[in-house]
Amino acid sequence: MKNTLNWFELPVVDMARATAFYEQLLGGTIRHEVVDGEPNGILPFEEPGVGGALVLRKGFAPGNGALIYLNANGDLEGAADRAMQAGGSIVLPPTPPYPFGRIAVIVDSEGNHVGLHSD
């Protein structure tokens, strides 16, 4: 197995608001697609690699589910600051280094808890 995580979906209730939040947080563009009638916002990633999407799906609500970690690319403090500037909040501020890197946990514009990881 190459990666434990190979795709993730974050539930949203307002795609435009969530798109603005994640574009500001990640400094990239969200690609919009409709998959099986459901609006998806594909988060930036490179092939081959782990990817994910913002998903507007009936019965798929923010706030419950697995905690996933997004790559902060060596700028954990900057990513946490951008999350706050985009309308999110910080649940766990950037930590001191662990053997596997540093983490922070934010709450996004939709109410999802999302981890940030940096080597």
Query: pLDDT tens string for the chain (119 positions)?
Result: 467 788 999 999 999 999 999 999 999 999 999 988 999 999 999 888 889 999 999 888 898 777 899 999 899 999 999 999 999 999 999 998 887 889 999 999 999 999 999 98
Q: For residue 108, what is the domain's CATH number?
A: 3.10.180.10
The number of folded domains in the chain is 1
Would you say 11 and 61 are in contact if contact means Cβ atoms under 8 Å apart? yes
Question: Cβ atoms within 10 A of the Cβ of 67, count?
Answer: 10
CA 24 – CA 27 distance, rounded (Å):
5
State both tokens at 20.
Answer: 């603005």
Element (H, E) at 82: helix 76-85
Give the range of the structural domain holding residue 55, as residue numbers without chain letter. 7-118
